[in-house]
């Protein structure tokens, strides 16, 4: 594999570094060579192009519940050994196990081999792709007066060794394209956004969505928003469209089930495995094995193979999402959720692709049952307070439901709820599951790409935070 061409570091080098680590119970070396290329359209022209290279090595020394970390930005074994010295500074006890003579290779699998490779593809190919997005947006409607398109592709090669003799290498592609369109009518100015982000090569634009369609979606949303009215304020039923609404799951229950918050007893779900924490209609899964998904990984950033983890089954809490340390400290099975932004960061428990499984109700029936409520289609994002369980999610495209019909588009609203409370109020789940293909990035001190998904879901009551005080 080509990672050895760009990361000149052998098993022998790794062994020499480990031999310098005298303390601690576990250590690993994470080597990365990542090339990121971006092109941007603004004012109707290809405005800029950027390439950056991020290359380096992170060394971690774990001593029970303590972690020491350091990194260097070269692959020189001496520099890596020096980083190892800094990393072991806080280790007080333990002794890393002796090195097995033969390393054990952890396979990365083949969840995301690109057909049209990234780094090898000419820059002009990228410029042509984003021009097609621009055309798709501009040709939708004359009210569209500004379009911005950004495409970033990342060729990420990693190589990991640990003190237990395991090692593995992986090549992780990612293509992220987002389009923003502005529609103006008289003095009313509104924006629309669309995007696609997948762990695959440029074939994405043939197999997932065409550039023209991505542009068109942004334009369409902007034009729709021209007719949007201020959202109402107060408690009411909320129906979530399939796909992007998975933000709800990510925020309301995803983060609080990351095991570092359980270990620190910071999460509202601490100590509650086996208890009913959600409506029986809710089965919630975090899966690292969905081919080409943004959250797909053969193994995580500490060599644990990923899996499909059922977090909540029919409303009952089953398990948390672990990295190596939390699974050791809490004596629970590894799940392969240890992820990091780059070699500059320690791995921590993170989501991969998190979603709710589909139910049995026809989506039309779900909407038809709502007298007055909100129907949410697209989202700007969300946030959660792990401890209290309060979470927000912010729709960028949503509609009023009146007497069972989706009617007026709404603007300027945030939805707020409490995780366990909202999940108990899920009273209808559609049979129309969809994974989002959007450009989701999760921030938790470090950013990582994630996947989300949801069927149509109804929450019987949630606080809708609009600015309108009309009944």
Of 191-220, binders to other proteins (CB under 8 A) are 191
Distance CA 279, CA 271 (A): 19
Closest CA to 428 of 363, 376, 379: 363
Residue 441 binds other proteins (CB under 8 A): no
Q: Which residues inside 242-271 make contact with other proteins, applying CB under 8 A?
A: 264-271
Largest CA distance in the chain: 74
Residues 160, 164, 170: CA angle, nearest 5 degrees: 20
User: Which of 24, 56, 201, 298 is close enough to bind other proteins by CB under 8 A?
Assistant: 56
Q: Which stretch binds other proteins (CB under 8 A): 14-22, 204-212, 330-338, 417-425?
A: 417-425
Identity of the residue, 86 or 135, whose beta carbon is nearer to other proteins in the bound complex = 86
Shortest Å, Cβ 420 to other proteins: 4
SS3 196: strand
Find the binding residues for other proteins in span 279-308 (CB under 8 A): none
The residue within the footprint of other proteins, chosen from 3, 70, 152, 326 (CB under 8 A), is 70
Which of 15, 23, 86, 273 is in the footprint of other proteins by CB under 8 A?
Answer: 86
- Which of 173, 175, 174 is closest to 130 using CA atoms? 175
Residue 78 φ then ψ, to 5°: -65, -40
| Residues 120-179 interacting with other proteins (rule: CB under 8 A) | 123-124, 126-127, 145-146, 148
Using CB under 8 A as the binding rule, whether residue 459 contacts other proteins is answered as no
Closer CB to other proteins, residue 66 or residue 314?
66
Contact segment (CB under 8 A) with other proteins among 184-192, 281-289, 293-301, 307-315 equals 184-192
Task: Work out which of 8, 97, 234, 291 binds other proteins, going by CB under 8 A.
Answer: 234
Tokens of 355: 């979603």
Residues in 102-121 that interact with other proteins by CB under 8 A: none
Contacts for 187 with CB less than 8 Å, ≥ 6 apart: none
Could you say which residues in the range 2-21 bind other proteins, by CB under 8 A?
none
Beta bridge partners of 457: 240, 429
SS3 247: helix
Cβ neighbours of 400 (radius 10 Å)? 19
Closest to other proteins by CB, 395 vs 449, is: 395
Instruction: List CB contacts of 378: < 8 A, sequence separation 6 or more.
Output: 193, 221, 244, 395, 396, 397, 398
Per DSSP bridges, beta strands 348-349 and 338-339 are: antiparallel
C-alpha–C-alpha distance, residues 398 and 228, integer Å = 9
Taking CB under 8 A as the criterion, which residues in 305-344 touch other proteins?
344
Reduced to 3 states (helix: H, G, I; strand: E, B; else coil), residue 130 is: helix
Q: From the list 21, 31, 39, 378, which residue makes contact with other proteins (rule: CB under 8 A)?
A: 39
What is the closest distance, in whole angstroms, from the C-beta atom of residue 100 to other proteins in the complex? 28
CB closer to other proteins, 38 vs 99: 38
Rule CB under 8 A: which of 372-411 touch other proteins?
A: 380-394, 411
């Amino acid at each position: 594999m080509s990672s050895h061409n760009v990361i000149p570091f052998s098993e022998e080098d790794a062994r020499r570094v480990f031999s310098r680590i005298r303390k601690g119970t576990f250590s690993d070396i994470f080597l990365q060579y990542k090339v990121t290329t971006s092109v941007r359209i603004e004012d109707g022209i290809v405005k800029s192009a950027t390439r950056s290279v991020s290359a380096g090595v992170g060394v971690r020394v774990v001593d029970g519940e303590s972690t020491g970390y350091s990194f260097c930005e070269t692959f020189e074994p001496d520099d890596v050994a020096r980083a190892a010295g800094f990393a072991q500074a806080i280790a007080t006890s333990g002794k890393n196990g002796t090195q097995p003579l033969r390393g054990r290779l952890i396979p990365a699998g083949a969840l995301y081999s690109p057909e049209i490779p990234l780094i090898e593809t000419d820059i002009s190919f990228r410029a042509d792709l984003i021009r097609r997005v621009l055309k798709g947006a501009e040709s939708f409607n004359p009210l569209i007066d500004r379009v911005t398109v950004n495409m970033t592709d990342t060729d990420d090669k990693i190589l990991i060794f640990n003190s237990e003799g395991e090692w593995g290498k992986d090549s992780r592609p990612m293509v992220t394209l987002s389009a923003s369109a502005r529609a103006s009518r008289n003095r009313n100015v509104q924006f629309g956004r669309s995007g696609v982000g997948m762990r695959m090569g440029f074939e994405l634009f043939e197999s997932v969505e065409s550039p023209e369609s991505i542009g068109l979606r942004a334009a369409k949303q902007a034009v729709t928003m021209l007719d949007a009215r201020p959202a109402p304020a107060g408690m009411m039923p909320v129906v979530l469209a399939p796909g992007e609404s998975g933000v709800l799951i990510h925020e309301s229950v995803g983060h609080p089930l990351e095991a570092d918050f359980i270990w620190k007893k910071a999460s509202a779900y601490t100590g509650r495995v086996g208890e009913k924490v959600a409506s029986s209609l809710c089965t919630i899964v975090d899966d690292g094995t969905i081919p080409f998904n943004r959250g797909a990984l053969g193994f995580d950033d500490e060599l644990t193979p990923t899996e499909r983890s059922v977090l909540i089954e029919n409303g009952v809490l089953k398990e948390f999402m672990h990295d190596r340390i939390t699974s050791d400290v809490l004596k629970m099975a590894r799940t392969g959720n240890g992820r990091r932004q780059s070699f500059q960061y320690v791995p921590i428990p993170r989501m991969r692709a998190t979603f709710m499984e589909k139910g049995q109700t026809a989506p039309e029936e779900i909407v038809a049952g709502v007298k007055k409520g909100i129907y949410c289609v697209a989202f700007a994002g969300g946030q959660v307070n792990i401890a209290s369980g309060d979470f927000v999610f912010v729709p960028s495209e949503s509609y009023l439901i009146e007497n069972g019909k989706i009617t007026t588009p709404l603007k300027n609203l945030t939805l707020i709820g409490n995780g366990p409370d909202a999940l108990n109020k899920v009273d209808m789940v559609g049979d129309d599951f969809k994974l989002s293909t959007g450009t989701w990035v999760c921030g938790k001190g470090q950013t990582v790409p994630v996947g989300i998904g949801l069927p149509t879901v109804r929450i019987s009551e949630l606080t809708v935070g609009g600015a309108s005080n009309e009944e």
